[in-house]
Structure 1
Amino acid sequence: MQSLQNGEWKPGEGIPSETELAARYGVSQGTVRKAIDELAAENLVVRRQGRGTFVATHNEARSQYRFLRLRNDVNESGHPKSRYISVEKVRASTSVAKQLDIKPSELVYVVKRILDFEGKPLIFDEIWLPGVQYKGLTLEKLQNWGSTLYGFLEAEFGVRMLKAVESLKAVSALPEQAERLMVPLGTPLLYVERLSITYAEKPVELRRGWYVTDGFSYRNELY
C-alpha cells in the first residue's frame, strides 16, 4: 500500500512478482499471494492470467464506469457522454472545505458538466476539486479528453479514486438544474452527493449530482 501510495508502481504498470515481493519483505510467497488477493478484492490491483499483477487504472474498460450507478431499466448497455460546461476557480466554503479536509477559503476548482445518455441529459454534476491537487486544470483540457473524468484525473494529475461515500435523497429541480437537464422547474430528481477518496483515506473530490430517473434506476450491490 505504501508503494502504491508513493507512486513506486504507477497505474497500469506491473508490480514485482510474488517471488520478488516475498524476498523484499521477508515473508512467504503464500503470504504475499494473500496480500495481493486482498488488494485485488479492493480494486487496487488486477491479476492478468499469464502476465502478472498490475496496478488498477481508471483507463481500462473494466474500471471506467465502476462508480456510475445509473442504469437503463430496459437496456443496460451503452455509456454516457460527458459534456463539460465550465471550470471555475473559487474559494472553498466552510462546508466544502470540511468535506475535502482543506482549510476554508482555500482555492478549489468547480467543474460543471452534463452526462448525456443516448443524447438525453440525465445527470448534471457539480464537482469540487482541491486547487493544490489539480493545479492547471482547464475546461479545454477536459473537453479534449476522450474518456472518463476519473481517467483524466489519473492521467493528468496522478490521482486515483479508490472508493467513494455517497448519500442520496429526493429533491425538486431548481432553476439551474431544470435548465441544464431540460425538465420543468420542480421536477422530482435524485440528488447524489459523493465524496471520493484516494490512498491514506484522503478526500480528493466532492461531487454533487442531480439525476433524472425516468426510465433509469440507481442500482447498487450490497454485500
Structure 2
Amino acid sequence: MNLSDINLPVASFSPLYEQIKAMILASLQASEWLPGEAIPSEMELAARFAVSQGTVRKAIDELASQNLLVRRQGKGTFVATHQEDDWQYRFLHLAPDSGMKFHLANRFLVCTKTEANAYIANLLKLKAGDPIIHIDRIQSYAGQPIVFEEIWLPGVRFTGLDLDTLNAWHGTVYGLYESQFATHMVRAEEKIKAIAADETLARHLHLAPGAPLLSVERVAFTYGNKPVEIRHARYDTSEQHYENKLN
C-alpha cells in the first residue's frame, strides 16, 4: 500500500506523518494487528507506504504517546493491550492510601439484556430502545468491597456475553473485551463527584447509609472514537484515593 492507493480523510496540507499515522490507525481499526502483537518494523512500513523511516517513526511516536502502541527496547513496537500487567489497570485511578499496589477481586452480580433509554443511547451513539447489556459488579480489596459498578454495553457488539462468562474470566474486563469481542479500549472520559451512600450502595459496600463515596461515570472509546462502554462506579475512599497524574 502507498499513498496513491488510499483516499485519506485529510486536507492536502496535512503533514505526511499525519497521513501515515492515519493509515496505521486504519490498520489497527481493521484488526490487521491485534492487541499484544508486534507491528511491522519502521523499515517495512516505510517501504509499504513509500515514505522515509523518519516519517514512519514520527507517526509511531504519536501513536505511542496516545497509548495505542508500545515501544519495547530491542524488541520492536507492539499494539497496546489491557492484558499485560503494566496496562491492566491503565484506566483505574483508585489507589490505596498505604501506597501499596493492589489487585481487585471481581464479583459480578447481574448481566442482563435490556433496552437503551435515551440517556444511555445518547452516550453510546445508539437509538433509544436498541439492545444493550447491563452489568452490576462489586470489586473487593483484602476481602472488603470498595467499588460498586454498573456497566452498559451495546448489545450487538457484545452478543453472547453473560454472567457465567464474566465470572469465569480471571483477567480485567477490558482484557475480556479484547480477547472475545475484538474490542480494544483506547481512551476514556470521566465525570467525578462526591455523593452519599444510599441504602443499596451501603449494603453492597458494607457501609452505613450516608457514608461518603466518590461517584465516577466513565465513557470508554475504541478505535475511531467510538463509544462502546459506560461505567458508573462508586468508590469507598475511606482507605483509598483517586489518583491522577497531569502532564
Q: Which residue of 2 aligns with 1:102?
A: 126
Matched, 1:59 2:80: no
Look up the equivalent residue of 1:10 and give its one-letter code.
L
Look up the equivalent residue of 2:91 and give its one-letter code.
F
Larger Rg: 2
Aligned pair count?
223
How is 1:11-160 mapped onto 2 (pairs within 5 angstroms)? 11-160=35-184
Q: How many angstroms does 1:76 deviate by?
A: 2.6
Q: Please, what TM-score do these two structures have when normalized by structure 2?
A: 0.88
* Worse-matched range after superposition: 44-53 or 26-35: 44-53
Q: How many angstroms does 1:145 deviate by?
A: 0.6
Cα deviations by residue, 1:24-64 (Å, 9 ceiling, x for unpaired): 11110011111111111111111122221111111011100
| SS of the residue 2:110 aligns to | strand
Identity of aligned residues (%): 49
Whether the 8 Å CA contact 2:96–2:102 is kept in 1: the answer is no
Cα deviations by residue, 1:72-106 (Å, 9 ceiling, x for unpaired): 11133121111111101111110010011100011
**Which 4+ stretches in 1 moved above 3 angstroms?**
none
Q: How many angstroms does 1:182 deviate by?
A: 1.1
Q: 2:220 aligns with which of 182, 196, 207?
A: 196
Please, which runs of 5 or more residues in structure 2 have no aligned partner?
1-24
Distance 1:57 1:221 in 2: 21
Q: Which residue of 2 aligns with 1:212?
A: 236
Whether the 8 Å CA contact 2:113–2:131 is kept in 1: the answer is yes
Q: Which residue of 1 aligns with 2:16?
A: none
| SS of the residue 1:22 aligns to | helix
Q: Which residue of 1 aligns with 2:3?
A: none
Matched, 1:169 2:193: yes
| SS of the residue 1:36 aligns to | helix
Distance 2:154 2:201 in 1: 24
Q: How many angstroms does 1:113 deviate by?
A: 0.5
Distance 1:222 1:52 in 2: 28
| SS of the residue 1:57 aligns to | coil
Whether the 8 Å CA contact 2:104–2:139 is kept in 1: the answer is yes
Q: How many angstroms does 1:175 deviate by?
A: 2.2
Please, which runs of 5 or more residues in structure 1 have no aligned partner?
none
Distance 2:89 2:36 in 1: 17
Cα deviations by residue, 1:103-146 (Å, 9 ceiling, x for unpaired): 00111101110110111100000000000110000110111111
Distance 1:118 1:85 in 2: 19
* Worse-matched range after superposition: 41-50 or 65-74: 41-50
Distance 2:246 2:139 in 1: 25
